[in-house]
């Protein structure tokens, strides 16, 4: 990994520091140097899947053990230079303007929504007491940052449960990544990396904050009906009563092409739900011609194949609107689907999107999926914009 440190410079900004040192202790030491003497209410950490997890968790706990700290492994990072890789990105929230409280869910296969809702309600009650003690305004801004194991297949249930308990407080987050290996991801909670886990960070601030989501596609005319699926495995065997992979290729107008991540990113299936269209991304093609999806899929779902919009112009308008609403942006904590990054490369947009992210202060990671309010979604840029 290239040895390089980048950081923000203003004392009242979020403390955003990036290191490219491959040794965990050296990377964390650079983060500490970048944070300096600022007192933090909590922190986020997103890192390459190549970092050794136990040494990294120990190093972080040794330097930041006194504050709430969460994070995850990624499929790519978003740093001050835009798209990044083989890096560690740290985001610290200044104690003067923020409060942060955590709750972790482990053993997701046994997740109980009733117990989960009560845990989040208690978390919110506890944060309200901390806000009162800290002299925050009667109605501070609140948002929940959500990180979940990207291979758990539990994102839908968790997002719905947590958002229901949060009420009007918006949830936004992402599914942890493992590069493009899809082997094992890690969720950082305090001094441990966990698998089959999720964590909620309830964030309160004196500053305005805005959660948002956007995708870069419009539905095309061709329709696909899922006629044979295994919902538990997120596998589609048939589309329009034909082998799924063959029919998807035919409707995309690309018969004979290779089905890979770049193809899936360029031709994303979309479903109509809640008054709008949302991407249901494909993860892989299987030897039997079936398709594995990143998100929930079931028999009878009608899909369209997405067609791209002008992504750079769309993003400029998105951030202009958010900045106007907040009266200025400190940083944007971004959860950007890895398929967006792959598609940007395929369409030769990577430099333009990366430069835009850097200029607009977007920091975060490339995900295996995003969560916005009660929904688990794909191929979006979702995030939390922090005002000044």
Alpha-carbon distance 16 to 18, whole Å? 7
Give the separation between CA 308 and CA 219, rounded to whole angstroms: 9
- What average pLDDT does range 134-152 have in this prediction? 90
Domain check: are 50 and 1 in the same one? Answer: yes
Which residues on neighbouring strands pair with residue 106, listed in sequence order? 197
The mean predicted confidence, pLDDT, of the chain is: 94
Question: How far is the first Cα of the chain from the last one, in angstroms, to the nearest whole number?
Answer: 33
Residue by residue, DSSP assigns 197-248 as: EEEEEEEEESS-EEEEEEESEEEEEEEEEEEEEEGGGTEEEEETTEEHHHHH
Average pLDDT of 238-259?
91
The two three-digit tokens of residue 249, written as one number = 């290729």
Burial, 18: exposed, middle or buried (Cβ in 10 Å; 0-12, 13-18, 19+)?
Answer: buried
Total number of domains in the chain: 2
Question: pLDDT tens, 309-321?
Answer: 999 999 999 999 9
User: Which residue, among 19, 25, 14, 28, has the nearest Cα to 1 in the 3D structure?
Assistant: 19
Buried-state track 32-56, b at ≥16 Cβ within 10 A, e below 16:
bebbeebebbbbbbbbbbebebeeb
Q: Name the 3-class secondary structure at 345.
A: helix
pLDDT of 159-216, one tens digit each?
Answer: 999 999 999 999 999 999 999 999 999 999 999 999 999 999 999 999 999 999 999 9
Q: 319 with 245, same domain?
A: no
Please enumerate in sequence order all residues whose Cβ is within 8 A of that of 90, keeping only pairs 6 or more positions apart, or say none. Answer: 15, 16, 17, 18, 19, 31, 34, 35, 43, 44, 45
pLDDT of residue 266: 93
> Both 79 and 206 in a single domain?
yes
Q: What mean pLDDT comes out for the span 302-311?
A: 95
The CA-atom distances, in angstroms, between 227 and each of 238, 267, 279 are: 5, 20, 19
pLDDT at 1: 43
H helices present in the chain, as ranges: 24-35, 53-64, 113-133, 155-166, 244-251, 261-266, 311-326, 338-346, 350-360
pLDDT of residue 360: 98
Same domain, 291 and 358: no
3-class secondary-structure state, position 5: strand
Of 264, 281, 308, the last residue of a domain is 308
Whether 248 shows a pLDDT value over 80: the answer reads yes
Domain boundaries, position 277:
217-308
DSSP-derived pairing of the beta strands 302-308 and 269-273: antiparallel
Contact 234, 297 (CB under 8 A): yes
For residue 5, pLDDT over 50 is answered with no
Dig out the tokens for 74 from the structure: 């990624």
What percent of the chain has a predicted confidence (pLDDT) above 90? 90
Kindly report, residue by residue over 116-127, the tens digit of the pLDDT.
999 999 999 999
DSSP state of 178: B
> Which positions ≥6 away from 197 have C-beta within 8 Å?
104, 105, 106, 107, 108, 148, 149, 152, 187, 189
What single DSSP character describes residue 78?
E
The whole-number pLDDT of residue 88 equals 98
Q: Which of 307, 301, 308 is CA-nearest to residue 224?
A: 301
pLDDT at res. 131: 87
Q: What is the pLDDT of residue 330?
A: 97
> According to the model, what pLDDT value does residue 145 have?
98
Rounded to an integer, what distance in angstroms lies between the CA atom of residue 319 and that of residue 75?
24
Q: State whether 5 and 33 are in the same domain.
A: yes
Task: Give the per-residue pLDDT at 10.
Answer: 54
What is the pLDDT, as a whole number, of residue 4? 39
d(CA 71, CA 188): 5
Q: Let me know whether 39 and 154 are in one domain.
A: yes
Query: Domain check: are 53 and 185 in the same one?
Result: yes
Residues 182 and 34 in one domain: yes
The CA R_g of the chain, rounded to the nearest whole Å, is 20
Using one digit for the tens of pLDDT, what is the confidence trace for 46-85? Answer: 999 999 999 999 999 999 999 999 999 999 999 999 999 9
Query: Which helix H or strand E contains 281, and what residues bound it?
Result: none
CATH of residue 230's domain is 2.40.30
Residues 198 and 225 in one domain: no
Q: Same structural domain for residues 190 and 259? A: no
Q: Do residues 302 and 357 share a domain?
A: no
Distance CA 362, CA 81 (A): 9
**Do 70 and 102 fall into the same domain?**
yes
User: Would you call 65 helix, strand, or coil by DSSP?
Assistant: coil
Q: What tens digit of pLDDT does each residue of 328-381 get?
A: 999 999 999 999 999 999 999 999 999 999 999 999 999 999 999 999 999 999
The last residue of one of the domains, among 259, 275, 308, is: 308
Q: Identify the band that residue 7 occupies on the pLDDT scale cut at 50, 70 and 90.
A: low
Distance CA 107, CA 207 (A): 35
Q: Which of 248, 277, 308 is the last residue of a domain?
A: 308
Length of the chain: 388
**Would you state the structure tokens that stand for residue 155, as one six-digit string?**
């994102």
pLDDT of residue 58: 97
Residue 379 vs residues 214, 238, 276: alpha-carbon distances, Å: 9, 23, 15
| 290-302 average pLDDT score | 95
């Amino acid at each position: 990994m290239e040895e390089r440190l980048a950081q923000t410079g203003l004392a009242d900004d979020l403390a955003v520091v990036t290191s490219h040192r491959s040794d965990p202790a050296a990377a964390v030491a650079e983060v500490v140097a970048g944070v300096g003497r600022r007192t933090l209410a909590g922190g986020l950490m997103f890192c390459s899947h190549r970092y050794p997890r136990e040494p990294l968790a120990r190093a972080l706990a040794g330097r930041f053990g006194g504050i709430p700290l969460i994070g995850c492994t990624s499929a790519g990072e978003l740093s001050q230079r835009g798209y990044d890789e083989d890096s560690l990105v740290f985001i610290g929230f200044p104690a003067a303007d923020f409060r942060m409280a955590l709750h972790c869910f482990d053993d997701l296969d046994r997740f109980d929504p009733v117990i989960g809702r009560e845990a989040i309600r208690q978390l919110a009650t506890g944060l309200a007491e901390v806000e009162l003690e800290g002299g925050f305004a009667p109605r501070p801004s609140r948002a929940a940052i959500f990180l979940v194991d990207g291979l758990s297949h539990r994102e839908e249930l968790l997002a719905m449960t947590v958002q229901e308990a949060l009420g009007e407080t918006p949830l936004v987050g992402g599914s942890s990544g493992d590069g493009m290996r899809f082997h094992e991801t890690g969720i950082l909670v305090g001094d441990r990396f966990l698998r089959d886990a999720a964590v909620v960070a309830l964030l309160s601030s004196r500053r305005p904050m805005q959660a948002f989501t956007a995708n870069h596609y419009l539905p095309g005319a061709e329709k696909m009906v899922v006629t044979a699926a295994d919902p538990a495995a997120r596998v589609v065997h048939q589309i329009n009563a034909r082998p799924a992979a063959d029919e998807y290729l035919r409707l995309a107008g690309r018969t004979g092409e290779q089905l890979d991540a770049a193809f899936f990113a360029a031709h994303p299936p979309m479903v109509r739900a809640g008054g709008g269209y949302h991407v249901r991304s494909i993860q892989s093609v299987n030897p039997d011609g079936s398709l594995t999806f990143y998100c929930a899929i079931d028999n009878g779902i009608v899909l369209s194949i997405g067609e791209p919009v002008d992504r750079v112009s769309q993003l400029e308008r998105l951030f202009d609107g958010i900045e106007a609403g907040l009266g200025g942006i400190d940083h944007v904590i971004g959860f950007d689907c890895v398929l967006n990054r792959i598609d940007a490369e395929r369409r030769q947009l990577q430099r333009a999107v990366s430069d835009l992210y850097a200029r607009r202060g977007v920091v975060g990671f490339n995900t295996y999926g995003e969560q916005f309010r009660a929904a688990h979604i794909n191929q979006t840029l979702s995030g939390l914009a922090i005002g000044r």
